[in-house]
């Protein structure tokens, strides 16, 4: 099956949240860096030059993009690619603005749960702090062989926000959720799978294609 690209949709389309000056769809400046907007609506959340720190604009843009894709009849599955080859700094440098705008950040994460389309988290490398907030709200987790995770807030004397603790304890046993949240320990992709968080494992270079191939069976 050949997947229809949404890039050709005209700006007049009622499902477009933004209208760029050149007439092309602009879902979000943040999400548009490496867009592959298809039937799967794959959104690449890379900011490798900033070590994947979540920007101040991310929550509002992310929520708008998800709401648009949720309403778009040409999108059936949403795949969020979280790629990071570094020790993830999603938590650190810009963690503190979330303390002053907690509702904005929480609303962005909640938008994943409210989306009527299946949302798959495809995780490569480190997934820490804000990245963990995002994937815990997704319907399904896929990971690469080198992926690892951490609810890192405890290391900074903070409590995980964005309903992360509530969601996590609803997925895995309460004792395991408390250990991860209170210690901030790094846990491997295999440990995440043993806990029931991760459902499939792909090679580091094939996770995006693997997610798409697996999603074919949903149609």
Higher-confidence position of 203 and 15: 203
* pLDDT given for residue 183 in this prediction: 85
200-202 and 140-144: which strand pairing?
parallel
Residue 207 Cα distances to 87, 125, 145, angstroms = 20, 11, 9
Give the tens place of pLDDT for each residue, 31-46. 333 343 333 344 445 4
Residue 6 CB neighbour total at 10 angstroms: 21
What band does 110 get if pLDDT is binned at 50, 70 and 90? confident
pLDDT of residue 5: 33
Q: What pLDDT does 50 receive?
A: 44
pLDDT tens profile 56-99:
667 777 788 788 888 877 777 788 877 765 544 444 444 444 54
Q: Domain coordinates of the chain in residue numbers?
A: 42-218
CA distance 20 to 114: 26
CATH code of 42-218, in short, is 3.90.226.10
| Displacement of CA 162 from its chain's centroid (Å) | 13
Pairing of β 42-44 and β 148-150: unpaired
- Residue 42, token pair as written in the block: 């794959």
Three-class secondary structure assignment of the chain = CCCCCCCCCCCCCCCCCCECCCCCECCCCCCCCCCECCCCCEEECCCHHHCCCCCCCHHHHHHHHHHHHHHCCCCCCEEEEEEECCCCCCCCCCCCHHHHCHHHHHHHHHHHHHCCCCEEEEEEEEEECHHHHHHHCCCEEEEECCCEEECHHHHHCCCCCCCHHHHHHHHCCHHHHHHHHHHCCCEEHHHHHHCCCCCEEECCCCHHHHHHHHHHHHC
pLDDT at site 101:
59
Buried b (16+ CB within 10 A) or exposed e, 68-100: bbbebebbbbbbbbbbbeeebbbbbebbeebee
């Amino acid at each position: 099956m050949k997947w229809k690209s949404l890039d050709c949709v005209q700006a007049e389309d009622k499902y477009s949240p933004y209208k760029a000056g050149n007439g092309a769809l602009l879902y979000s400046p943040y999400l548009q860096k490496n867009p592959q907007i298809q039937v799967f609506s794959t959104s690449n959340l890379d900011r490798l030059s900033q070590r994947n720190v979540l920007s101040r604009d991310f929550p509002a843009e992310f929520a708008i993009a998800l709401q648009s894709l949720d309403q778009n009849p040409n999108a059936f599955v949403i795949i969020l690619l979280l790629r990071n080859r570094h020790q993830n700094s999603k938590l650190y440098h810009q963690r503190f603005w979330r303390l002053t705008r907690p509702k904005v950040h929480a609303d962005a994460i909640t938008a994943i749960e409210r989306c009527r389309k299946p949302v798959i988290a495809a995780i490569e490398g480190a997934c820490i702090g804000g990245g963990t907030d995002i994937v815990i709200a997704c319907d399904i987790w896929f990971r690469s062989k080198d992926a690892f995770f951490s609810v890192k807030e405890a290391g900074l004397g903070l409590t995980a926000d964005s309903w992360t603790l509530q969601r996590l304890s609803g997925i895995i046993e309460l004792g395991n959720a408390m250990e991860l949240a209170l210690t901030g320990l790094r846990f491997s992709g295999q440990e995440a799978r043993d806990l029931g968080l991760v459902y499939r494992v792909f090679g580091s270079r094939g996770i995006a294609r693997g997610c798409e191939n697996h999603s074919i069976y949903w149609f």
